[in-house]
Chains A and B, each alone.
Chain A
Amino acid sequence: MIAFLTFATIVLLFVVLVLISRASELTADLKNGKVDYTNQSKWNGYFLLASLVLMFVGSAVCFKVLMPVMIPKAVSVHGVKTDFLFNVTMIILLVAFVLTQVALFYFAYRYNESHGHEAYFYPHNNTLEVIWTVIPAIVLTGLIAMGMYEWMHIFNPDARDKNMMVIEATGKQFNWMLRYSGKDGKFGERIIDQAHISPTNELGINWEDPKSHDDFMSDKLYLVKNKPVLMKLGAQDVLHSFFLPHFRVKMDCVPGIPTEFYFVPTMTTVEMQQYLSTQPWWQTINPETNQPRWQTFKYELACAELCGKSHFGMEREVIVVDQSEYDAWMAKQTPMYQPPVAAVPATDSVTTKEEAKKPTAMLVTK
């Protein structure tokens, strides 16, 4: 009933609107069968100025209200630099934004026909064209140079620390499989063929490779502060994208094509919470948890490439700790390898187990 009434009201409003507009058309000033727009131009000039003001006030409000809520500062070495690049670019863009929008709306107001002037025949000016080609070109050259330098540095394999840790993340519908290489620091071999891939060994780990015997799976991504890490990325079924928003890390996971991302975390989870506890917005109480927001802060891993109907649910907690804490955590992990019987991956979530129960014969036919 309420839906119907709302609908009826909207229809009625439209009818009224049309009738009023029709009336305005009938009473318009006509000159030789054409509407004289002078009066309308005058009002629209003011309205455009008002829109401009509203736009700037709105933008300012956005900056004031939304900036504190945004994902906090970068906590990786390269992320700090790309954030800086973002900020520099943003400042340049804001200047261009304000100048061009003011010019556009102000000229529309200032030179609308209600001022009773004549238009000035001014078809071109090559000097001006050169100026407004060269200035953006110079600014862009600077931005391109800075961006390229940073980009090539992030993906330069020679710039990597030899002592980096290597973690393997494999995306599947709809969770992440995180594999650590264990005490020996070396991953067991993976073989993608019918003999190795099975519902109990989704990654196709070759258990005959002794390096696999201490590999373990984790349902949380543990990283060490200031310790470089190389993420070896892959996907089982469809595209996924390995996204660590706080670390400014994103790389697609592609079935059949290995990808990787190298970065250095710079703040532990606890340090980040302490930092946020000094930020006014993060001190406010979250009504859902009844705690200050900084207390429940955590780093997270997300999927950033549409991978199916539960794409939005591929959450994993990321925990950054000191080396000693990391070592203690690692000592407690159980390897996947179970000598006599078939090994069961330790991390399989509830969904996976349910899926594994389904009849699978029809899948193998392909």
Chain B
Amino acid sequence: METATAHATHHEHVHGHEEHHHEETFLTKYIFSQDHKMISKQFLITGIFWGIVGGLLSVLFRLQLGWPNETFPFLESFLGKWAEGGKISQEFYYAMVTMHGTILVFFVLTGGLSGTFANLLIPYQVGARDMASPFINMLSYWFFLAAGVVMFFSFFIQTGPASGGWTAYPPLNGLRDTAVNLGSGLGFDLWILGMSLFIVSALLGGLNYIATVLNMRTKGMNMFRLPLTIWALLFTAVIGVLSFPALLAGCVLLEFDRLLDTSFYLNNIIINGNLLGYKGGSPILFQHLFWFLGHPEVYIIILPAMGLVSEVLSTQSRKPIFGYKAMVFSILAILVLSFIVWAHHMFVTGLNPNLGAVFTLFTLLIAIPSAIKVFNWIGTIWKGKVRLSSPALFAIGFVSMFITGGLTGIILGNSAIDIQLHDTMFVVAHFHIVMGVSAFFGMFAGVYHWFPRLYGKYMNETLGQIHFYITLIGAYAIFFPMHFMTGLPRRYYTYANFETFNNFNFLAEFISIAAIIVFIGQLVFVVNFFYSIFKGRKVVAEKTVDGYDYANPWGTTTMEWSAPIERLHGNWPGDIPAVHRWPYDYSVNGREYIPQTEALKPGEVPHE
């Protein structure tokens, strides 16, 4: 990973030395960087690495699901004992499913998404020279990387990585005993270590984001002049800071159960007729702790994507975001509600039915702010002048996916219906569309849109559009039909043991083929990304002031392009510009756009 990071940034000639007060070495500029833009790149490239790993895992277990009776001899050559005779073993299947979830939820869509865009956009868009604490910001990345190294390492130990599901439920994951048929051995201890490091990273990052947004806004940048990206990233950080500690506590107690034989989550465990000594714990307690983070976690994933999409849609439609304040308050509503819906993951755990009813109420309520956001995005495109470039396409794809996946949430959130659907493929289809695919669409929209800001170059438009259509159509081909596998339990290695579930093999095969195509389609993005870093079309200066080149590739109002094309440490060469207006003055007063930094004309009333 380090090499990948270093490689990716090699191209950046160390120009602009004379402006810096101190000489930067390779090590301080690229590796132990405290510059928010470099840390953003580090998060992004590490995220891309994890995205490839996580995606590859899904392709491998889709081979098993799509063709349960076939063998794939080539698998044995690089998986060894995990795929003897070309047949993926049960242990490794569950390990891949577990790690696929962990990697994509935490390492790609939390670390990769929030880490990249909070770091890039918060200082640029609030008008700050860097994060409140650049050093803590650097630590945040290094804890993230260390977490990743631990997780990656767990693939290479003899008993394999964690395989008890990304939700890590005890007792399966609470017993360190090899007598339990599924080896939740060393791999799971590493999982807990990796997750703990990850949580430290998320907390360090989150506190920094909050401090920066609240304290380091430039002159004139009051809260209601913040672009929606910043609102979304701020609220995301708040959710993370309030909920990640619960998971850390939960994980530490789980490790106590495993290593010190405590009984926080274990009670009356009987294995082969032998009563183990655990007494008085509750496996359900862990689920409460897990989902107290786990549910807000999906908003940690989706809110930044929503923020990016709001900004991209508005910019690319040359039209203000529709209902700016409604958007802000709906994110706030989602933030508040996200903390009181967690038990909808536990409707059939034997929870008190009254609690189930309350959680149904709050869960379905969350559909209202989500609906408001969807209508506002559609309202933004309406009568706009939409430039259908890659970022806009991905933003539209995000809204489409968010609608489709969000709607089925209304079914799952209703406890009475959830009895049948809980832990079935319907759930898999739902959450992959609503938080997996759509968050990826948001992330891609962001990467295509802000790539010029990161690297001073554009990503290739043709490849971007090819990538878009493969992903849009492919993702629907994978997950839309999956809804019809209602009642087929998830996390099944094969359905062959059941008469009831064995009818959908043709569909499983179709889904697997689509998944492989979509995975290859994502490689188009990876190729485009690294190719464009080196050979991409350069951002051309539109004006030059005091020897600094300025441009505004998409014609945005927000502050990131009031800084020079060159990525200076400190962002602006002179004073930080002051802000005079809200961030969405598009197509107003006969102008295509008016930057936030432009002073009001005499007599002009700012939009508030």
Contacts and interface: CB of A to CB of B under 8 A. Distances in A.
Interface of A: 3, 10, 14, 17-18, 20-22, 24-25, 28, 32-35, 37, 40-41, 44-45, 47-48, 51, 54-55, 58-59, 62, 66-67, 69-71, 79, 81-83, 85-86, 89-90, 93, 96-97, 100-101, 103-105, 107-108, 111-113, 117-125, 128-129, 132-133, 136-137, 140, 143-144, 147-148, 150-152, 154-156, 172-174, 192-194, 197-202, 204, 233, 236-239, 241, 243, 245-246, 248-252, 254-260, 293, 296-300, 302-313, 315, 352, 355-356, 358, 360, 362-366
28 contacts: A25-B537, A33-B541, A40-B461, A71-B500, A82-B419, A104-B400, A105-B400, A107-B386, A112-B387, A113-B318, A119-B318, A119-B319, A121-B588, A140-B367, A144-B361, A148-B415, A172-B270, A233-B350, A236-B270, A238-B172, A255-B267, A256-B267, A300-B499, A304-B424, A310-B181, A358-B272, A363-B177, A366-B261
Contacts, number: 426
B386 A112 contact: yes
B480 A58 contact: yes
Contacts of B535: 22
Contacts of A308: 164, 172, 180-182
B284 A254 contact: yes
Contacts of B360: 144, 147-148, 151
B156 interface: no
B218 interface: no
Interface stretch (B23-31, B481-489, B572-580): B481-489
Given A197-B270, A250-B419, A44 B393 contact: yes
B462 A24 contact: yes
Contact of A119 (B277, B385, B410, B481): B385
A241 B91 contact: no
- CB-CB nearest 8 A-B residue pairs: A33-B540, A256-B267, A199-B273, A259-B350, A155-B353, A44-B388, A308-B182, A66-B484
A342 B473 CA distance: 63
A112 B504 CA distance: 41
Interface of B: 74, 90-91, 94, 163-165, 169, 171-172, 175, 177, 179-182, 261, 266-278, 281-284, 317-326, 348-350, 353-354, 356-357, 360-361, 364-365, 367-368, 371-372, 374-379, 381-389, 392-393, 396, 399-400, 403-404, 407-408, 410-411, 414-417, 419-420, 422-424, 458, 460-463, 465-466, 469, 472-473, 476-477, 480-481, 483-484, 486-489, 491-495, 497-501, 503-504, 507, 520, 523-524, 527-528, 531, 535, 537, 539-542, 551, 553, 584, 586-588, 607
A200 B273 CA distance: 7
A93 B497 CA distance: 34
A132 B375 contact: yes
Contact of B272 (A249, A310, A355): A355
Contacts of A237: 171, 180, 269-271
Contact of B181 (A18, A28, A248, A309): A309
Contact of A67 (B371, B472, B484): B484
A22 B357 contact: no
B388 A104 contact: no
B461 A35 contact: yes
A198 B271 CA distance: 10
Contact of B489 (A100, A120, A172, A302): A302
B267 A144 contact: no
A312 B493 contact: yes
Q: Which of A137, A148, A251, A299 has the most CB of B within 10 A?
A: A148
Contacts of A3: 74
Q: Which of A18, A249, A308 has the most CB of B within 10 A?
A: A308
A88 to B, nearest CB: 10
Given A97-B404, A107-B381, A255-B267, A10 B520 contact: yes
A89 B414 contact: yes
Contacts of B396: 48, 104-105, 108
A91 to B, nearest CB: 11
A250 B415 CA distance: 12
A199 to B, nearest CB: 3
Given A152-B357, A306-B172, A311-B492, A100 B374 contact: yes
A129 B414 CA distance: 25
Contacts of A104: 377-378, 381, 396, 399-400, 403
Q: Which of A236, A296, A298 has the most CB of B within 10 A?
A: A236
A236 B281 CA distance: 14
Contacts of B403: 96-97, 100-101, 104
Contacts of A58: 476-477, 480
A103 B584 CA distance: 23
Given A71-B487, A245-B420, A120 B273 contact: no
A70 B424 CA distance: 13
A54 B474 CA distance: 12
A200 B320 CA distance: 73
B272 A360 contact: yes
A302 B323 CA distance: 48
Given A17-B524, A148-B360, A86 B411 contact: yes
Contacts of A119: 317-319, 383-385, 586-587
A128 B461 CA distance: 36
A124 B172 contact: no
Contacts of A34: 540, 553
A304 B383 contact: no
A245 B495 CA distance: 14
B180 A122 contact: no
A85 B416 contact: yes
A105 B383 CA distance: 13
Contacts of B319: 119-122
Given A93-B410, A151-B357, A257 B271 contact: no
B315 to A, nearest CB: 11
Contacts of A21: 460-463, 466, 528
Contacts of A299: 500
Contact of A246 (B318, B483, B495, B500): B500
Contact of A143 (B317, B364, B460, B462): B364
B527 A124 contact: no
Contacts of A193: 275
B487 A70 contact: yes
A300 B384 CA distance: 55
A246 B486 CA distance: 11
Q: Which of B261, B269, B542 has the most CB of A within 10 A?
A: B269
B270 A296 contact: no
Given A308-B181, A309-B94, A97 B407 contact: yes
Q: Which of A32, A97, A305 has the most CB of B within 10 A?
A: A305
Given A118-B385, A151-B360, A311-B491, A85 B417 contact: yes
B463 A17 contact: yes
A21 B524 CA distance: 11
A62 B504 CA distance: 12
Contact of B422 (A112, A132, A304): A304
Given A21-B466, A236-B269, 11 more contacts: A18-B528, A48-B396, A122-B319, A128-B323, A140-B364, A150-B416, A202-B273, A233-B350, A256-B266, A311-B492, A363-B272
A89 B91 contact: no
Contacts of A174: 181
B419 A173 contact: no
